[in-house]
Amino acid sequence: MVISSDTYIVFETSNASGIKIVNQREAASSNIFRQKEFNLQSLGIGGLSAEFADIFRRAFASRVFPPHVTNKLGIKHVKGMLLYELPGTGKTLMARQIGKMLNGREPKVCIWFVLFIYLSVFHQMIKLIAL
Ligand SMILES: Nc1ncnc2c1ncn2[C@@H]1O[C@H](COP(=O)(O)OP(=O)(O)OP(=O)(O)O)[C@@H](O)[C@H]1O
């Protein structure tokens, strides 16, 4: 084993140990997925495994690497995602369940953003009709 100035040593403890390691945030990998089971059935989501895998790959894959790795590789985390599909097909359900799984906040629909999208599409349609 070779230890250089680029070597990171990450200390981990088992949950039952009661020991909390602090001040190694830069080196430690994200623990948002530790002991989280991605079982869509148990989350009450049916038939969206492919969509979930896509969301996972795009939004969360980069977050499993420690910050020093993502910084060096210039990887930027995805911070937002626009889900689009027909009404009632599980977009909100999926966002809500993923949020719960990550101990995040309840998803909110930004009405101004939705309005902006509608106006943009409307504007494009007017331009097409005018041609
Ligand atoms: N794949 C699914 N598995 C289980 N329940 C689902 C699924 N898709 C939709 N539902 C149920 O149907 C209802 C509507 O779903 P949801 O609100 O997530 O749809 P949506 O795509 O966000 O709709 P909208 O575009 O109208 O906001 C919810 O009660 C949800 O639990």
pLDDT of residue 6: 67
Give per-10-residue mean pLDDT for the chain (131 aa). 73 79 59 58 79 80 80 85 88 82 71 83 81 67
Spell out the domain ranges in the chain. Answer: 15-130
Ligand 1 mean position, distance from CA 78 (Å) = 24
Nearest CA residue ID for atom 4, ligand 1: 45
What DSSP character marks residue 65?
S
What size, in residues, is the chain?
A: 131
Contacts of 98 (CB under 8 A, 6+ apart): 55, 104
pLDDT of residue 69: 80
Cα atoms in the 13 Å half-sphere on the side-chain side of 97: 20
pLDDT of residue 11: 74
Distance of CA 128 to CAs 16, 49, 107, 118, Å? 63, 37, 34, 15
Nearest CA residue ID for atom 5, ligand 1: 45
What's at 130, amino acid-wise?
A
Distance of CA 117 to CAs 95, 103, 108, Å? 19, 29, 16
pLDDT of residue 38: 62
What's at 52, amino acid-wise?
F
Cβ(83) to ligand 1 under 6 A?
no
